[in-house]
A and B are shown apart, each in its own frame.
Chain A
Amino acid sequence: MSTTFLPCGIYHQEYAKEHAWWQTPFIKGKMILLLIVLFFIIPFFADSYELSLCNQIGYTILGAIGVQLLIGFCGQITLGHAAFLAVGAYTSTLLILEFPWPAFMIDWGLAYPASIIIAAFMAGIWSVIFGLPSARVKGFYLILTTMAAQFIIVDFIITQYVSQIGGRGQAFSIPPETIKIGPVAIDSDLKVYFMILFFVIICVVVLANLIRSKVGRAWIAIRDNDISADVMGINVIKYKLMAFFVAGCIGGIAGSCWISNIAAISPEHFPWSWSLWLVGVVLIGGVGSIHGTIFGSIFMVLVMEGLQLLVIPLVDIYPKLLMDFLFIKEAAFGLAICIFMIFEPYGLSYRWWQLKNYFNLWPFSY
């Protein structure tokens, strides 16, 4: 997918402008409008249910964007990303619950922000450990090692060992008022919304800028052909591991953000199907585009909610349906992936790109 064409009659006269994010006044206006909607319209006009949907979308974006980096920009297919989300979430929870923070950290509400940073770092390290085989293997074999990461980290280390810390049994409940940023306790959907929004914007901006830097160009070269990238003098192993590290960091941030939204955390929050779900989101959104990830997340969350709304009226007729909804959701997700891969292999972002070009080139599209 190449870049979008500029509208007729607009030319750049400086190189810097050619690389700017918001190139025309129209785009500038559009993005500012989007920010206004995100920061002022949604939080104050949406009710609690809609806000929780937005939080779910934001969490999916944060999770999927790391997968997008690995699959879409570095070509390293991963099917175990939920494991790194789990590492982030558990690191953060354990730090909040068990770590003897100095008194001033807790008083000033710095414990949670600090734990997010440490969680991101931990998840990055774990991601690099399981990315190490990428130095030797690729393609299908790498898929297997990332799958193994999921089983080893979540099903074994976290379920059997980490969950035993403190003798709480399977689930760690997070008492209210412990998750604080500064003086504000993150306890309502609105506050979670702002926090997740903040992290989504940070991650998207960081990733988008990484992609157009030296590192990003190296990743894309590795994705397109790793042997020629090697021949051109790119240190393939270093950049692959860097991609794993960044993706793990973003996953860790996603995990530790999510604990503010749930009262208790257990290994069931990070099953293998969640890893596959994230990859599915990336594929439906479009491989190799950041806004594709966002489209994919919005699409999947909204479609599944729509499905639920569709099912609810039927429950009166056939009550078993409510219990079975989870299974319907799984089957629908599987079918959605198959249909997208067969009929729309470039994902939603390709359609978006076509649409933009259609309007930019209108009326002379040839």
Chain B
Amino acid sequence: MELFLMTIVTGIMVGGIYALVALGWVLIYKCSGVLNLAMGEMTLIGAYISITFYSMGIPFLLALLLSLIIGLILGILTERIFLDKLIGEPVLSVIMVTVGLSFFFKGSLELIWGTDTKVFTPPVFPLEPIEIGPIVIGQAYLWSFIAAIILLIAFVCFFKYTRWGLAMQATADDEMAALSLGISARFVYAAAWSIAFISAGVGGTLLGNINGLNISVAHLGLLVLPVVVLGGLNSVPGAIVGGIIIGILQNLCGAYLDQYFPGGVKEIAPFAFMVIFLLFKPYGLWGWERIERV
């Protein structure tokens, strides 16, 4: 029972981070219709930049902030250079450009930072675990979860109450109407990409704090795909709930199925679950169902 509770809690904590990264993904899809497969590498970029600043002796929060600013610039650049020209192209072209971007990012990252695992030294969060009743969790998990939740709330408020956020919502809802009301769609696309870079960067930094940082963190970034499928491609609440569900599921599979199927059940389970889920409910929990006509 304790194991069960602990797995659930850890799952929720990690799921919060997935939710944060998935929010960035959903935002890009909602605003510009781009299905982004480069999310894994985008998490890595932010994480590597912040670890570089941190190892230079800059306090963690400042390092994170600096990496966010660089992520913002990179987001705008990526959108302007590569994706701006592809608006309205077929799905395959857009997806393959993001795949090309992911190769490009990954190659450049490995070129700059190498393939060795890096850790935040000295550790950002204290190492001794916290005990809440029978449950023992690492502080890194707890603080990551709190940080992810704060950012999620900040983003949701941004969409609900600020002018730019409302412009983005309007564009996602109906691009033509938004254009006729004087909202610049190009600005919205650039904003969506920079927010995605920011949320991926924070997610990557938090994941890097938990397990150390190397190229395989990109695989965790890819977990965003099962998350968004579960929640529905264009639903922000879906991304949050989906992230937490996938986090729990992954940890449950790791805890209980690992003895029957030794090896990488934990990495595979979300994808296997996604295939089965797609067969029954392809539009996710809250996604828009698309009715097709000839």
| A140 close to B108 (CB less than 8 A) | no
| B279 close to A133 (CB less than 8 A) | yes
**Number of CB contacts from chain A to chain B under 8 A:** 141
Q: Which of B239-287 contact A (CB under 8 A)?
A: 261-265, 267-268, 271-272, 274-275, 278-279, 282
The smallest C-beta distance from B161 to any residue of chain A, in angstroms, reads 31
Q: B103 contacts the other chain (Cβ, under 8 Å)?
A: yes
Q: How far is the CA of A79 from the CA of B271 in the complex (A)?
A: 14
Q: How far is the CA of A160 from the CA of B268 in the complex (A)?
A: 12
Q: How far is the CA of A130 from the CA of B111 in the complex (A)?
A: 35
Whether A328 touches B261, Cβ cut-off 8 Å, given contacts A280-B99, A337-B96, is no
| B294 close to A333 (CB less than 8 A) | no
| B279 close to A136 (CB less than 8 A) | yes
Contact of B103 among A147, A151, A156, A337 (CB under 8 A): A337
Whether A331 touches B104, Cβ cut-off 8 Å, given contacts A137-B278, A137-B282, A140-B91, is yes
Of the four ranges (under 10, 10 to 19, 20 to 34, 35 or more), the interface on chain B belongs to 35 or more
Whether A338 touches B92, Cβ cut-off 8 Å, given contacts A148-B274, A159-B264, is no
Q: B292 contacts the other chain (Cβ, under 8 Å)?
A: yes
Q: Which of A132-182 contact B (CB under 8 A)?
A: 132-133, 136-137, 139-141, 143-145, 147-148, 151-152, 155-156, 159-161
Q: Which of A319-351 contact B (CB under 8 A)?
A: 324, 326-338, 341-342, 345
Instruction: Mark B82-113 against chain A: 1 for CB-CB distance below 8 A, else 0.
Output: 10011001011101110111111111101100
Q: Which of A23-68 contact B (CB under 8 A)?
A: none
10 extra A-B contacts, CB within 8 A, seeds A136-B282, A337-B97: A130-B275, A136-B279, A151-B268, A151-B271, A156-B267, A326-B110, A330-B106, A332-B107, A334-B103, A336-B100
Residues of A within 8 A of B278 (CB): 133, 136-137, 141, 144-145
Residues of A within 8 A of B225 (CB): 144, 147
Contact of A345 among B93, B104, B262 (CB under 8 A): B93
| B292 close to A227 (CB less than 8 A) | yes
Nearest CB to that of B95 among chain A residues? A143
Q: How far is the CA of A330 from the CA of B38 in the complex (A)?
A: 14
Residues of B within 8 A of A139 (CB): 91
Interface of chain B, main secondary structure: helix
Q: Which of B138-192 contact A (CB under 8 A)?
A: none
Q: A192 contacts the other chain (Cβ, under 8 Å)?
A: no
| A335 close to B100 (CB less than 8 A) | yes
Q: How far is the CA of A345 from the CA of B89 in the complex (A)?
A: 9
Residues of B within 8 A of A71 (CB): 92
| A140 close to B233 (CB less than 8 A) | yes
| A148 close to B293 (CB less than 8 A) | no
Residues of A within 8 A of B292 (CB): 227
Instruction: Mark A245-283 against chain B: 1 for CB-CB distance below 8 A, else 0.
Output: 000000000000000000000000000010010011001
5 contacts between A and B (CB under 8 A): A133-B275, A148-B272, A327-B106, A338-B97, A341-B89
Q: How far is the CA of A77 from the CA of B98 in the complex (A)?
A: 15
Q: Which of B218-235 contact A (CB under 8 A)?
A: 225-226, 229, 233
| A335 close to B104 (CB less than 8 A) | yes
Contact of B86 among A144, A156, A225, A342 (CB under 8 A): A342
Q: B51 contacts the other chain (Cβ, under 8 Å)?
A: no
The smallest C-beta distance from A215 to any residue of chain B, in angstroms, reads 22
Residues of A within 8 A of B264 (CB): 155-156, 159-160
